[in-house]
């Protein structure tokens, strides 16, 4: 826990007076719990927050943490190599390294070759190298 979070949690409690004299001990007890979920439940209990029962969240859509991510990126190819199994590794100008999930015979020539990577419906990625009509399944390595 960061020092700022510790201060934000304990300062209001310390200002509340002697009614919470044993709160420091309770906070130390919660902080000593190794499992993150149990530690959070302990802190929530001290704050008076009850965890939501599993049946309450059943059927609700999961929060989409990728909502702010772009649906595609564009860059240029600065390097092409192969892994030991023959799959293409593409280094982009933005510093990212992508691996094609399909064996191919791609041999792009020239400089400033455009690359477009799109997010697929099920969360994967399709990579297109300028000059080729095919879209390749790809995984980001760096």
Residue 130 near residue 113 (C-beta atoms within 8 A):
yes
Percent of the chain with pLDDT over 70: 71
Confidence label for 38 from pLDDT (cuts 50, 70 and 90):
confident
Higher pLDDT, 42 or 68: 42
Q: Which helix (H) or strand (E) holds 113?
A: strand 113-119
- The dihedral built from the CA positions of residue 124, 130, 132 and 133, taken in this order, carries a sign that is positive
Residues 6+ apart with CB under 8 A from 81: 88, 89, 91
Task: Tell if the pTM clears 0.75, that is, is over it.
Answer: no
* Structure confidence by residue, pLDDT tens digits, 50-100: 666 666 666 666 666 555 678 889 999 999 999 999 999 999 999 999 999
């Amino acid at each position: 826990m960061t020092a700022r979070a510790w201060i934000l949690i304990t300062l209001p409690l310390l200002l509340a007076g002697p009614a919470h004299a044993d709160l420091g001990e309770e906070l130390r007890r919660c902080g000593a719990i190794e499992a993150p979920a149990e530690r959070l439940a302990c802190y929530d209990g001290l704050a008076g927050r009850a965890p939501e029962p599993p049946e309450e969240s059943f059927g609700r859509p999961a929060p989409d943490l990728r909502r702010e991510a772009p649906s595609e990126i564009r860059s240029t190819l600065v390097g092409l190599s192969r892994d030991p199994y023959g799959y293409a590794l593409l280094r982009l100008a933005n510093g990212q390294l992508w691996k094609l999930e399909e064996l191919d015979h791609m041999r792009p020539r020239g400089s400033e070759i455009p690359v477009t990577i799109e997010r697929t419906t099920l969360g994967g990625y399709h990579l297109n190298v300028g000059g080729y009509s095919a879209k390749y399944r790809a995984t980001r390595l760096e």
